């Protein structure tokens, strides 16, 4: 059976303790760390540096898992020094994941830069993920590339991951991102297959000009049931993480509304 978590992108100002309280209150089994106390530089917070062991105990006491750590790192830069900076930042997130007993760190590719080309950019991303997967291997922390930016197509994600040539490189699948790029979720799931280690779940409407209207689950245009059916076909048993984009869309409902709404929807429709 699939498990549910929520991304703290949906409650960016909550403390770590508040996130655990919310997860327990609303019936989630996990939390996906993205923003805590207003920052995504998690390693700067005592909860994920000096007090990391205490934070792991807090997770255990609450009966909540850290489904993954959502790094802000991306590796599309032509400048090798800038890519190394991003790799070093992602390593900090791997250290946090290791300390919390989390199985993975989510990263991005992300966008082809001016003067660069697709093939070179994909090679840079593969090289970065290889370095991070090797770094995380002793602690059993994998690196999960999200389909995002100029690499939302599942075939691109698979190509990048195969280019790594290593174990510990997998995917965070965001079917909504793929839909925006014109990819059917059933087709995307078949292409990614066993690479899928984590799933983002959300709903929206697409407006004129490519703008997105974030909606509560079941109130938008995303074919949620079709996505779940595709995951069942793959026998996926990992976390489905509710990515409520409160950090990016200030006017959408508060997490106190969106999180229990998701949990109720999942109780009725989940697999």
Task: Tell me the per-residue pLDDT of 168-221, one tens digit each, with 9 for 90 and over.
Answer: 999 999 999 999 889 998 999 999 999 999 999 999 998 887 788 999 999 999
Encoded tokens for 165: 């040539």
CA distance linking residue 54 with residue 68, whole number of Å:
18
Which pLDDT score is estimated for 209? 78
CA distance linking residue 15 with residue 38, whole number of Å:
9
Cβ(99)–Cβ(137) below 8 Å? no
Rounded percentage of the chain residues whose pLDDT exceeds 90: 94
Which pLDDT score is estimated for 248? 96
Lowest mean pLDDT among 18-22, 138-142, 150-154, 180-184: 180-184
Alpha helices in 110-223 (DSSP H): 118-136, 154-164, 175-180, 185-192
- Provide the number of structural domains found in the chain: 1
CATH number, domain of 122, equals: 3.20.20.150
Q: Which domain holds residue 187?
A: 3-269
Which pLDDT score is estimated for 181? 85
Which pLDDT score is estimated for 206? 87
DSSP state letters, 238-265: SEEEE---TTT-TTSPPHHHHHHHHHHH
Task: Tell me the per-residue pLDDT of 15-46, one tens digit each, with 9 for 90 and over.
Answer: 999 999 999 999 999 999 999 999 999 999 99
CA distance linking residue 10 with residue 247, whole number of Å:
6
């Amino acid at each position: 059976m699939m498990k549910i978590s929520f991304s703290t992108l949906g409650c960016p100002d909550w403390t770590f303790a508040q996130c655990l309280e919310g997860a327990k209150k609303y019936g989630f089994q996990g939390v996906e760390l993205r923003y805590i106390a207003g920052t995504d530089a998690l390693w700067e917070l005592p909860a994920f540096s000096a007090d990391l062991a205490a934070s792991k105990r807090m997770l255990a006491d609450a009966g909540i898992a850290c489904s993954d750590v959502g790094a802000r790192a991306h590796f599309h830069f032509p400048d090798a020094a800038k890519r190394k900076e991003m790799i070093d930042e992602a390593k900090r997130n791997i250290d946090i994941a290791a300390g919390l007993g989390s199985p993975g760190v989510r990263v991005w590719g992300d966008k082809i830069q001016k003067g660069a080309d697709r093939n070179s950019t994909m090679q840079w991303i593969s090289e970065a993920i290889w370095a991070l997967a090797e770094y995380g291997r002793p602690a059993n922390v994998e690196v999960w590339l999200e389909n995002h930016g100029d690499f939302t197509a599942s075939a691109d994600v698979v190509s990048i991951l195969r280019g790594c040539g290593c174990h510990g490189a997998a995917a965070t699948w965001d079917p909504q991102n793929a839909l925006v790029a014109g990819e059917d979720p059933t087709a995307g799931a078949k292409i990614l297959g066993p690479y899928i280690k984590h799933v983002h779940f959300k709903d929206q409407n697409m407006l004129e000009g490519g703008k997105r209207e974030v909606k509560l689950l079941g109130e938008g245009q995303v074919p949620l049931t079709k996505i779940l059916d595709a995951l069942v076909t793959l026998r996926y048993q990992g976390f489905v993480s509710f990515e409520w984009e409160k950090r990016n869309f200030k006017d959408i409902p508060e997490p106190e509304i969106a999180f229990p709404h998701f949990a109720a929807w999942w109780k009725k429709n989940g697999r």
